[in-house]
Structure formats: structure tokens, C-alpha cells
Structure 1
């Protein structure tokens, strides 16, 4: 009886998760190698089933895993699109976990603490290593700040642009991806915060002071002003959302 039982299961498909992992491993290698390139339509379920001799359930699970890893762009009622792995892929995958954290008491504050820590280091670097081009980009962003003071929606975008410059100064593509993620993760709360021209003006003046410290090549002063500015920004949000 035992022999019959073993024989009857010998050709059975492995459990769905194990079978999907086998399919994912192959397709993931093809994406990373460029065999499946950015923007290319991903193989259909039928093609996956035929190549790997798996069920439709396994094929769908494999696609779901690759979407979760940021390697495919899911499109309802259409085949997924291959997305080239990059630094943004990591932060996109983390996005779901971060959104869960933000939904917890104190979660937004914890994410903002990380932002302050990162920008404090970046502004110190700006004060010592910023090039003429970096300074020009900061001035241009500050000028947009000034032009948008009466338009709070536009000021918010110019505010993000000013801070984004700091993330480009190290010349490391990881940092701009991090800034993009911070903006995505915190955007909902920031947009709900009341914005008045007077508050915009205060933020502009803080940006101007930070830039002046950078121009004076004073990293301690630049960091102090940056921390003061972001702590003030946090209080503006915290006063609005009592459950943060």
C-alpha cells in the first residue's frame, strides 16, 4: 500500500508556493539580465504554463510575486509590463510596509524622524562640498519658493524641489530615490495640512537661512537651521493630526 501511495504522487505538481518560487527564480533572472527588458510586455499566463508545465494558479502566483518585488507593473485586464530594477524598486517594495507603519499611532513621526536624520547629514555635506551647480540649483529652487508664496499648492511643490537638491549633492542615485519615497509616503498628510501665505513665507525664510549657512560653508549652522526648520514643519503637521 505504501508503495502504491508513493507511486501515485510521484508525478504530482509541487505545492503552489514551491512551484511558483521555481518559476519566479527563472523569470527574475531574465529581468535582471535584460533578457526581459524594461517596458517589454511580460509573457502571458499561457506561455508561462507551457514553458514551465505548471498550473494557471502557479503562473498567477509567480506574476503576483514579481509584481510585489517591483519587477512588473500590474495592469488590470492587460498583460503586465517589465520594469527595470533600480534603486527605486527597493523603496517601491518598501512602500507597502511603510504605509502600514504610517497607519499606526506614531508612525508618521517615526518616518519623519528618519527624514530629519538623513537631511541633517546631507545639508552638512552641502555646506562643505556643494559645487557651483549645486548652489545654482538651490538658488533656483529658492526663487521658485518666493514666486509661489501666495499659491500654497505651488509652494508645496517648490518646497519639495528645494529639499530634493540636497539629495542630489552626493552624486549617489540612492539618495534621490529615498527623497522620492519620503515625498510619496508623507504626501497625503502634508497635503491635508492647512497652508497659508504667512506659513509659506516662514518656510521660505528658513530655506533662505539654510542656503546662507551653506554659502558660508558652515555645516554646524546649516544642520542646526535644517533641524529647526523640519522640527517646525513637524509641529505644523502634528497640531493638525492629533492622532499621529
Structure 2
């Protein structure tokens, strides 16, 4: 038996029209939508329906309502993906094999990320990597500052692939990576060993040597695996 057809709620139809314009590129990141009153007039609906539509779009990470600025179109894909994947991983961490499976994912992704980055990195990403390494050198005994810079180094590598999907995927697990990095930071000599590998990866990137970058990242992740297993 088929389910009875129900008329879609008005606010959903409003949200769908605006979402389609965003997906089509008619509305871009940073564009300001008409006011609530103006949209109500254009759609011939109540302001309440427009307000509910904006809430729906905000939940999808497509718009942001800012006091004094109105409703702005935003690129919320990264935040939405990070939030949803991060929640799933927290709930299913034990079933997923925990740190061991995270390492396996990193070995699959990050070795190729390093190789592609060596071929495509722009001066912007190279500068970001260089600055992140300098911060890690300066804050070898400050766990939070060191790990924030470590995250930035690996994010710059992902950005250097010039592939937005790779960046979204890696950023979606950044919280898990931070926890893993904290564990390694507590191992005697862990930060120092990590820095040796970071610098080797970086050297390969600036030399545009994809195979060397791949190998350097593989060695780095081998070090991560060994330090993750360290009982200290």
C-alpha cells in the first residue's frame, strides 16, 4: 500500500528554493539574503514560515543569521561534516577498533596526501607548513600549542592537494587526531621524533619530490604507531 500524499509544509518549500539557488551557485558564500519581511512578501507567506525556513537552512550549515547583518549564506559543509562524522566516531569508537583503525586510515590517506601535496602545494600552503613547524619547535613542552600547530601542519598538507574533499575528510577527524597526538606527546621523546619527520616531509614538499614525501609520511606514521603502543 502507498502512503497518502501530504502537502509539503510551506517553510520547507521556502528552504528548498533557497537551498537550490545555493547549490546552483546563484547564491554564494557571503551573500546576504533579503530581510525576513522582504522574503515573506516575495514568497507570499507569513514571516513565521520564513523564520522556520531560515532555521532549517541554518541546521544544514547553509546560512547564518547574524545580529545587525541579517542572514548570510555560508559554506558550512566542513562544519556539518566534521560534526556528523565526529559524533558517529565518538559513539562507535570501540566498534571501530579505536586508535588502531585510525592509524590504518591515516596510513591510507596521508601517505598519498603528502605525495600529491609535493606536486601541487602553493606558496601559501608551504608558508603555513613552515610556520607550523616553527611553532612546534618553540613549544616542544606546551602540549596544547604544539598539537594545535601539528594539526595546522597536516591541514596545510591536505589543503596543498587542492582537493576540497580530501580537506573535508581530514578535517572531519581532527578531534580524534588531536587525542591521538596528546597520547604521543606524553611519550618521552615523542614530540621530538615527530618533529624530525615533519621536517623531512616538509623538505620533500619544497623539493617537489612526491615519492620522498610519501616515504617520509610513511615513516612518520610508523613512528606514530610505535609511540602509540608505548606503555609510558
**Preserved contact between residue 61 and residue 80 of structure 2 (Cα < 8 Å):** yes
Q: TM-score, normalised by structure 1?
A: 0.65
The 5-angstrom pairing of residues 1-244 of structure 1 reads: 14-16=7-9, 19-29=10-20, 31=22, 32-34=25-27, 38=30, 40=32, 43-44=35-36, 51-54=42-45, 58-73=49-64, 81-85=71-75, 89-103=76-90, 104=92, 105=94, 106=96, 113-128=104-119, 138-172=129-163, 175-183=166-174, 185-186=175-176, 189-190=179-180, 193=183, 195-196=185-186, 198-214=189-205, 218-233=209-224
Secondary structure at the aligned position of 2:17 is classed as helix
**Preserved contact between residue 115 and residue 182 of structure 1 (Cα < 8 Å):** no
CA distance in 2, matches of 1:216, 1:39: 40
CA distance in 2, matches of 1:238, 1:50: 63
**Preserved contact between residue 74 and residue 81 of structure 1 (Cα < 8 Å):** yes
Residues paired across the two proteins, number: 219
The CA RMSD over aligned residues, in Å, is 4.1
1:58-92 Cα offsets, whole Å, 9 max, x none, are 545422321132111257x999732234xxx3232
CA distance in 1, matches of 2:18, 2:206: 50
**Preserved contact between residue 113 and residue 157 of structure 2 (Cα < 8 Å):** yes
Pick closer, same or farther for the CA change 1:128–1:29 going to 2, 3 Å: closer
Secondary structure at the aligned position of 1:125 is classed as helix
Pick closer, same or farther for the CA change 1:213–1:47 going to 2, 3 Å: closer
Q: TM-score, normalised by structure 2?
A: 0.67
Structure with higher Rg: it is: 1
CA distance in 2, matches of 1:64, 1:130: 38
CA distance in 1, matches of 2:48, 2:107: 45
The runs of 5 or more residues in structure 2 that have no matched partner are: 1-5
The runs of 5 or more residues in structure 1 that have no matched partner are: 1-12
